[in-house]
Amino acid sequence: MPFIEPAPRGRPVASILPLVLLTFTAMAALAASPPADPNRPLIVGRHSHVVVIEYEAWFGPKAVTFQGTAAMPQLQSADMIPVGGGYDSADPAIIQQHVAWLESMGLDAAQIEVTNNVACIFNSEWFIKKFVHNCTPAFRAGNRQIRDNTGNLYPAWSALGTPLKLIPLMGGIDQNVLYKDTDGKTALEKEIAYFGALMSRYPALNVIYHGKPLMLIYLGAAQDPNPADHPLWFKIRKFLKKHSEISSQYTFRMSAGYLDSQPGVWAKPGTPTGPIEINPKYGFWSVGDRLNPSCTEPLCPYYPSYNQAGSRVENFTASIAASGQNGWGCPNPNSPPYCPDDALRFGNNQSYATLDSYMTYAGQLAPIFLFIDQFNEYVKPDEGFDANTDDDVEPANLWGSGALDAVQQQIQLYRQRTGAAAARR
């Protein structure tokens, strides 16, 4: 999650919603509603098929802006005009429209995240001076705004009475998240406590897995598979095991990126011919993997990963698009030609060919948790320089509402397929 230096705040928040966008609100009534109760948490069992989208609440005049992004969302907030447009994630009208769109796609939950600069956000000034030298006052304030925007989703979504749920994704990227602060606590446990308090206050928004509210911890991309090296994932796992007062309250899963290219964590190393099972001793979930069966670059072909839990696939992530090993553009990362191992948004006739390919595998695997990557990230380097090199779903100037429609249709097909499979069992 990148952070862009904030600009001064403009006018108080007031939304600018083009009238054409209001028609999307009615779409929720046209699609199959998620089977959750807005007044109760979502209980995930051994026959569940939960569909989750990755969602960001980073944006605001004193947080992340849309300056320098290739795409611009159709939604706009007045206080973002002085910083180039876009919307404020704290704007109530924006939140309401986002919820309507997420409901229209037939989702069950959203993954929300505060993964970068965790120590900068949660720890003391003493700790920052000693260990986090890039954490300037402005940088700290901007990252705390991202935290506050993300936490605000709990009261905001609760007030809207949505059946959608929230799954927090926390930061396990930096070694300093396990260093103790002056209060004897680590930044990771402070972030767990922050989201834990919100989950306790708004229990109807929780996803319950293995009898406890689900929390995710993001480890970054490349993972050292050797526990003898004491990589951070191994330290976090030991930390949670040692702190039973934390692990007894929540179900934790760890996620990482681009597991498609990390054979050291696969169950069966070798050249893959389909989706890749992660070795159960790691159990990593993926926030996003590549898919390109026909590429010929080093580490090709690419297939997305999954984690097995007993007789069921536990998780799988489908994407709108996926960059290659060297980013989106080759040789220039910020312009065409595209890298030969990219998986681009559009196929022939503007079809969502990459999403369709991922969802074909999703239907075959029928995971307990299916993640969609993603609703609204926008910023580089994860997002690229045109529609083909951006994996966002939210209606925007470069692709209109096409991605929203494509995801809605694929989720309906997925639910039909998994429902039929469940009936056969």
Q: CB-based contacts of 349: which residues, under 8 Å, 6+ apart?
A: none
Give the model's confidence band at 419: pLDDT under 50 very low, under 70 low, under 90 confident, else very high: confident
- Per-residue confidence (pLDDT) for residue 36, from 0 to 100: 80
Which one, of 192, 128, 113, 188, lies nearest residue 373 by Cα?
Answer: 113
Question: Would you put residue 353 in left (φ > 0), alpha (ψ -120 to 50) or beta?
Answer: alpha
Q: Helix crossing, 187-201 with 137-160: angle to 10°? A: 20
Give the integer Cα–Cα distance in Å for 106 and 101. 9
Say which range, 27-41, 113-127, 151-165, 293-307, has the weakest mean pLDDT.
27-41
Give the integer Cα–Cα distance in Å for 171 and 182. 20
pLDDT at 30 over 70: no
How many Å is the Cα radius of gyration of the chain? 21
Q: Which helix (H) or strand (E) holds 245?
A: helix 244-247
pLDDT at 29 over 50: no
- Per-residue confidence (pLDDT) for residue 255, from 0 to 100: 98
What percentage of the chain reaches a pLDDT higher than 70?
Answer: 90
Residue-level length of the chain: 425
| DSSP 8-state secondary structure symbol assigned to residue 329 | B
Compute CA 284 distance to the chain's CA centroid, rounded to the nearest angstrom: 15
Q: What are phi and psi of 297, to 5 degrees?
A: -70, 165
Beta bridge partner(s), residue 251:
214
The domains found in the chain, sorted by start residue, are 15-424 (3.20.20.80)
- Mean pLDDT, rounded, for 275-299: 97
> Which residue has 């103790």 as its token pair?
180
pLDDT at 32 over 50: no
Q: Which helix (H) or strand (E) holds 409?
A: helix 402-424
Joined tokens for residue 112: 């929300």
Give the model's confidence band at 269: pLDDT under 50 very low, under 70 low, under 90 confident, else very high: confident
Beta strands in 237-396 (DSSP E): 251-257, 276-277, 285-288, 305-309, 312-319, 369-373
**For 191-230, how does the pLDDT look when each residue is reduced to its tens digit (9 = 90+)?**
999 999 999 999 999 999 999 999 999 999 999 999 999 9
Give the model's confidence band at 35: pLDDT under 50 very low, under 70 low, under 90 confident, else very high: low
- Per-residue confidence (pLDDT) for residue 422, from 0 to 100: 59
Joined tokens for residue 108: 């069950």
**For 126-170, how does the pLDDT look when each residue is reduced to its tens digit (9 = 90+)?**
999 999 999 999 999 999 999 999 999 999 999 999 999 999 999
> Which residue has 């054409």 as its token pair?
20
Q: Which residue type is seen at 221?
A: A
Question: What average pLDDT is seen over the chain?
Answer: 92
- Per-residue confidence (pLDDT) for residue 26, from 0 to 100: 40
Q: Exposed, middle or buried by CB within 10 Å (0-12, 13-18, 19+), for 263?
A: middle
Following DSSP, what letter does each residue of 27-73 receive, concatenated? HHHHSPPPS--TTSPEEE-TT--EEEEEE---BSTTSB--TT-S--B
Specify the pTM: 0.92
Question: Would you put residue 390 in left (φ > 0), alpha (ψ -120 to 50) or beta?
Answer: beta
Say which range, 32-41, 265-274, 305-314, 363-372, has the weakest mean pLDDT.
32-41
Beta strands in 265-409 (DSSP E): 276-277, 285-288, 305-309, 312-319, 369-373
| DSSP 8-state secondary structure symbol assigned to residue 4 | P
Q: Which residue type is seen at 361?
A: Y
Strand 76-77 vs strand 15-16: parallel, antiparallel, or unpaired?
antiparallel
Which one, of 353, 249, 371, lies nearest residue 304 by Cα?
Answer: 371
Q: Exposed, middle or buried by CB within 10 Å (0-12, 13-18, 19+), for 348?
A: exposed
Say which range, 6-10, 29-33, 323-327, 372-376, has the weakest mean pLDDT.
6-10
pLDDT at 310 over 90: yes
Beta bridge partner(s), residue 110:
53, 166
Greater model confidence, 49 or 5: 49
| DSSP 8-state secondary structure symbol assigned to residue 113 | E
Greater model confidence, 29 or 329: 329
- Mean pLDDT, rounded, for 105-119: 97
Greater model confidence, 22 or 294: 294
- Per-residue confidence (pLDDT) for residue 421, from 0 to 100: 60
**For 71-100, how does the pLDDT look when each residue is reduced to its tens digit (9 = 90+)?**
999 999 999 999 999 999 999 999 999 999
